[in-house]
Amino acid sequence: MKKDLDVIGELTELDKKHFLHPTSPIQQQQEQGPTFIFTEGKGVYLYDLAGNKVIDGMSSLWNVNIGHGRTELGQAAAEQMSKLAFTSSFATFSNEPAIRLAAKLAEVAPGDLSATFFTSGGSEANDTAYKLARHYWMLKGEPRRKKIISRTKSYHGVSMGATSATGLKPFRDFTNSLAPDFYYTNNLSSQSLRDVIEAEGPETIAAFIAEPIQGAGGVHIAPETYFIEVRKICDEYGILFITDEVITGFGRTGTYFGVEHYGVTPDMMCFAKGVTSGYAPLGGVMLSKDIHQQFIELSTGTLLHGYTYSGHPMGCAVALKNLEILENEQLMNNAKIMGEEMLKGFRSIQRMCQIVGEVRGLGLMGAVEIVKNKSSRERFSTPLAPVIVSEAAKRGLICRSVVFDGQDTIVFAPPLIISNKEIKSLIEILYDSIHAIEQKQLH
């Protein structure tokens, strides 16, 4: 034990001194050090150096879909690395895992999405989508079509293009110079999309991008007919429709891809995270058969876009094994059933707690809103979700608060392998945490 304490102390100091954390409160890190130093994961649980065992109610970053500690993926990675760790996909070079994964994705993706450009993650996938969409219009002889429209409360990543497309303003305000030609529509109104297109001029717009269910922005589910209307509007004005399935892909919402809930298919689709369940960094963009064909017919030179790790053999081998597990263990179906249980649990908490307003979810993406007044939905002047999330972490549950745009929301995305019993523990800890803070608030 003493040895562990020594190690924790040593790592804490090194962390403060040398590790600049992504999307982290920098002062808190300096004052308190890391909240957890994780050492191991098994199923829905994470273990840390201090001996804590916590439910990973976020699948870490919405990505560990098949759960922690799956040695099959470790084996797939080790086998591929031992045989061929890396080789280039530039200049028409190829490798078997990348080819097989591209073919597998064509088989499972919506509509006729059939060709994949690989990246290392979701931000690169988004930047790639914007660049390929613009290049497509250049090839088609419409170079004025370069504007990209996205939605309020959207999150598309932090590379320069993805930051510029992100509708959550604090991410854009973090830097004071953005990429040009990005515009935003109201996230729940298709009319708002039409208005922006009309105002900007349809002949200047390359693409509209949307997450089927918004994740980091607070788990927002669009009205039932929203995407049908969006698809129609994009067709009417000849605008490419891109879905960002970085969170919603690979079973998260109870179907292979989130857009399947809405009966429409995109022209391009970004993915990352769940494609490897986070066991290896990988992402990509898929193109419809028609767009791919246009690239083939109209391009004259080299496709001058490529990341060193596009088509990484180990990443692709891990993805193939991950998709095999996802399908063999019917985890999409489990996400659907357990998602219903999770939502039921949220509803019971809503009935028992005065400070819980709207609850929502689809598959294993869920949200609980904190309110001061249930009927008026008035919020507390200082959001309580962060305090509840800290309380939950102490009690053994990791979840996330969303306070952007005046929200006070707690979001969830547990691994798709979660059992009924584990959902019950998640709900119990959540209830205890909200109740504890509610008591403090009321007394």
DSSP alpha helix (H) spans, 19-159:
26-32, 59-62, 71-84, 96-108, 122-139
122 near ligand PMP, rule: CB under 6 A: yes
Smaller CB separation from ligand PMP, 157 or 357: 157
CB of 305 to ligand PMP, least distance (A): 16
User: How many Cβ atoms are within 10 Å of 3's Cβ, its own excluded?
Assistant: 7
Phi, psi of 215 (to 5 degrees): -100, -80
Q: Which of residues 124-153 bind ligand PMP (CB under 6 A)?
A: 126
Q: Look up residue 141 and give its amino acid.
A: G
The answer to whether 125 touches 305, Cβ cutoff 8 Å, is: no
Q: How far is the CB of 179 from ligand PMP (least distance, A)?
A: 15
Report the residue from 56, 127, 244, 267 that binds ligand PMP according to the rule CB under 6 A. 244
Please identify, using beta-carbon distances, which residue of 323 and 384 lies nearer to ligand PMP: 323
Query: Treating both helix axes as pointing N-terminal to C-terminal, what angle do 313-328 and 331-352 enclose, rounded to 10 degrees?
Result: 70
155 counts as binding ligand PMP under rule CB under 6 A? yes
Residues 46-65 that bind ligand PMP (CB under 6 A): 61
The rounded distance, in Å, linking the Cα atoms of 283 and 121 is 4
- In the region spanning residues 397 to 416, those forming contacts with ligand PMP, defined by CB under 6 A, are none
Q: Min. distance of Cβ 260 from ligand PMP in angstroms?
A: 16
- The residue within the footprint of ligand PMP, chosen from 101, 216, 219, 356 (CB under 6 A), is 216
CB of 281 to ligand PMP, least distance (A): 7
**Which residues are 206's β-sheet partners?**
none
Stretch that binds ligand PMP, among 154-162, 222-230, 261-269, 379-387 (CB under 6 A): 154-162
CA–CA gap between residue 310 and residue 132 (Å, rounded): 15
Which tokens belong to 126? 């988004």
Q: Which residue is nearest to ligand PMP (CB)?
A: 122
What's the residue count for the chain? 443
Taking the complex as a whole, the smallest distance from the CB of residue 230 to ligand PMP amounts, in Å, to 16
The yes or no reply on residue 272 touching ligand PMP (CB under 6 A) is: yes
What's the gap between Cα 63 and its chain centre? Answer: 7
Which 8-state DSSP code applies to residue 373? Answer: B
If binding is defined by CB under 6 A, does position 123 make contact with ligand PMP?
Answer: yes
Comparison of 284 and 345: residue with beta carbon closer to ligand PMP: 284
Stretch that binds ligand PMP, among 88-96, 244-252, 303-311, 392-400 (CB under 6 A): 244-252
Q: Which stretch binds ligand PMP (CB under 6 A): 68-76, 155-163, 291-299, 324-332?
A: 155-163
Of 127, 211, 260, 391, the one binding ligand PMP by CB under 6 A = 211
Q: Please count the other Cβ atoms lying within 10 Å of the Cβ belonging to residue 143.
A: 12
Q: Exposure of 118 by Cβ count < 10 A (0-12 exposed, 13-18 middle, 19+ buried)?
A: buried
Q: Would you count residue 215 as binding ligand PMP (CB under 6 A)?
A: yes
Which one among 41, 157, 311, 345 touches ligand PMP, defined by CB under 6 A? 157
The correct pick among 34, 57, 121, 313 for binding ligand PMP (CB under 6 A) is: 121
217 binds ligand PMP (CB under 6 A): no
Closest approach, Cβ 296 to ligand PMP, in A, equals 27
Provide the token pair at 71.
Answer: 């040695």
SS3 269: strand
Q: Are 368 and 342 in contact (CB under 8 A)?
A: no
Least separation in angstroms between residue 371's CB and ligand PMP is 25
How far is CA 304 from each of CA 59, 147, 295, 423, rounded to the nearest angstrom?
35, 20, 12, 47
Backbone φ/ψ region at 343: left (φ over 0), alpha (ψ -120 to 50), beta: alpha
Instruction: Name the one range near ligand PMP by CB under 6 A: 48-56, 168-176, 209-217, 312-320.
Output: 209-217
Q: Would you list the DSSP string of 202-257?
A: GGGEEEEEE-SEE-TTT-EE--TTHHHHHHHHHHHHT-EEEEE-TTTTTTTTSSSS
| Binding residues for ligand PMP, total number by CB under 6 A | 16
Query: Which residues make up the interface to ligand PMP (CB under 6 A)?
Result: 61, 121-123, 126, 155-157, 211, 215-216, 244, 246-247, 272, 283
